[in-house]
């Protein structure tokens, strides 16, 4: 499979009577965009605003972030099973508005949404302070069920992303990135002497608005399956979950999964990257055992020597992460784990809810309980009072002058377990 990402760089946003991209500026026809989003009976009001890097702007509460993309040519369409038909993707050419993002905001679950600050100390912890954000503000009709509101918000974000990119299909492309994967038959015999490695991609699927979608299917309903990495880049995985902001894998993160990108870079040099095994994070012990055993069976069938395993969320999913680890290790497959920590505000508590002796190669994305003070912003898009409710905040987090004191848990993407974060570390 060969996928070309045709990237149009966006450095600025502007309103205009036509939606197009030119010279690094994405111009948006607000009236036309709102007409695309109109007609959803679950929404009482829809509005759109901008938030640019360096501006004194806070977005709160944030539900999802999506990168604008649209298929230029090839099978399938963007966000299959959601915006387009369910045909397989991962081949052909896809337009990417690089540097632009669609951010959805609305009071859904409330305690599991997040904060994006476009400047100040908070901006140093979220990658979305560096994107040119088209913010879609969504208010639900009275009495609507939360899962219906989530669906409406999710679809509004995806439709906006598809609309923006489709309107820019004629734009001058700044860069083309090409990713190509052979058939499994050829891949198994490629790069002799290098270890065969796969990526075990854990997706949040605990239900009660803790959901992720693969080709439009709720992932808790699937058995683990093999997925070509270019399918992920082409929008096959969509976030529908409302877990804590710090380690929520937004749709944007799936589209730009840094694990996949970096495994491509090392493919043929350090190891033979065979592809992704997509699995879920369920609630019951039986479901955890089933998915874990099936994932490792797939890995053994592929004959891999190593698995890189990433998690989404914390607490209950820690059990899935550790079960995947020890089952793989005891099957003779070496593992490396990616997670974050909830070690208390002083960093002295147990970091994960579960552990095993085999989990001795682990990369951490940081301690989500660390406390940070966010100074007031000149403009707030959304509802600032939600700072007192969201995970990582508490009653009194929002001060009268607009200052917010919260844990990193409240900042979107601050401890991303896919490594899509601005945090780093070094050895001393």
Which residues are tagged catalytic? 242
Treating both helix axes as pointing N-terminal to C-terminal, what angle do 30-37 and 146-166 enclose, rounded to 10 degrees?
A: 140
In the DSSP assignment, the letter for residue 195 is P
d(CA 135, CA 107): 14
Q: What is the dihedral of CA 202, 207, 209, 211, to 10 degrees?
A: 30
d(CA 135, CA 104): 6
The phi and psi torsions of 285 (rounded to 5 degrees) equal -60, -40
d(CA 299, CA 33): 44
d(CA 96, CA 234): 10
Helix (H), strand (E) at residue 163:
helix 146-166
What is residue 395's three-state secondary structure? coil
The phi and psi torsions of 37 (rounded to 5 degrees) equal -90, -5
How far from each other are the two terminal CA atoms of the chain, in whole angstroms?
43
CA atoms within 13 A on the CB side of 332: 8
Q: CA-CA distances (angstroms) from residue 267 to 91, 92, 270, 335?
A: 19, 21, 6, 17
**C-beta contacts of 207-210 below 8 A and 24+ residues apart:** 207/283, 209/108, 209/109, 209/112, 209/146, 209/147, 209/150, 209/240, 209/241, 209/242, 210/241, 210/242, 210/243, 210/313
In the DSSP assignment, the letter for residue 313 is S
């Amino acid at each position: 499979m060969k996928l070309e990402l045709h990237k149009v760089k966006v450095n600025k946003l502007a309103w205009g009577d036509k939606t197009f991209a030119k010279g690094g500026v994405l111009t948006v026809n607000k009236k036309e965009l709102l007409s695309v989003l109109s007609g959803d009976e679950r929404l009482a009001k829809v509005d759109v605003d901008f938030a640019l890097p360096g501006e004194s702007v806070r977005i709160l509460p944030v539900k999802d972030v999506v990168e604008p993309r649209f298929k230029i040519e090839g099978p399938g369409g963007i966000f299959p099973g959601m915006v387009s038909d369910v045909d397989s993707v991962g081949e052909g050419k896809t337009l990417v508005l690089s540097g632009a993002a669609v951010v959805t905001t609305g009071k859904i679950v409330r305690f599991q949404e997040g904060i994006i600050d476009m400047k100040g100390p908070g901006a140093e912890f979220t990658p979305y302070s560096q994107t040119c954000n088209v913010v879609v503000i969504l208010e639900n009709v009275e009495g609507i069920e939360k899962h219906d509101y989530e669906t409406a918000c999710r679809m509004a974000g995806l439709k906006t992303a598809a609309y923006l990119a489709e309107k820019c299909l004629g734009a001058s492309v700044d860069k083309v990135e090409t990713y190509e994967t052979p058939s499994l038959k050829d891949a198994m015999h490629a790069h002799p002497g290098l270890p065969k490695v796969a990526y075990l991609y854990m997706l949040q699927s605990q239900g009660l608005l803790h959901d992720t979608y693969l080709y439009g299917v709720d992932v808790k309903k699937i058995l683990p399956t093999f997925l070509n990495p270019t399918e992920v880049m082409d929008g096959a995985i969509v976030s529908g979950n409302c877990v804590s902001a710090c380690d929520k894998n937004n749709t944007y993160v799936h589209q730009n999964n840094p694990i996949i990108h970096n495994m491509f870079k090392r493919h043929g040099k350090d190891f033979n990257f065979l592809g992704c095994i997509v699995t879920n994070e369920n609630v019951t012990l039986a479901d955890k055992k089933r998915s874990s055993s099936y994932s490792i069976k797939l890995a053994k069938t592929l004959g891999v020597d190593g698995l890189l395993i990433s998690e989404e969320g914390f607490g209950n999913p820690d059990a899935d992460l550790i079960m995947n680890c020890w089952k793989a290790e005891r099957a003779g497959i070496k593992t490396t784990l990616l997670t974050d920590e909830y070690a208390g505000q002083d960093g002295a508590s147990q970091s994960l809810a579960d552990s095993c002796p085999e989990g001795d190669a682990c990369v951490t994305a940081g301690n989500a309980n660390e406390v940070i003070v966010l100074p007031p912003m000149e403009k707030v898009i959304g509802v600032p009072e939600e700072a007192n409710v969201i995970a990582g905040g508490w009653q009194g987090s929002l001060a009268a002058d607009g200052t917010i004191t919260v844990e990193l848990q409240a900042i979107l993407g601050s401890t991303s377990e896919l490594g899509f974060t601005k945090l780093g570390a070094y050895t001393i």
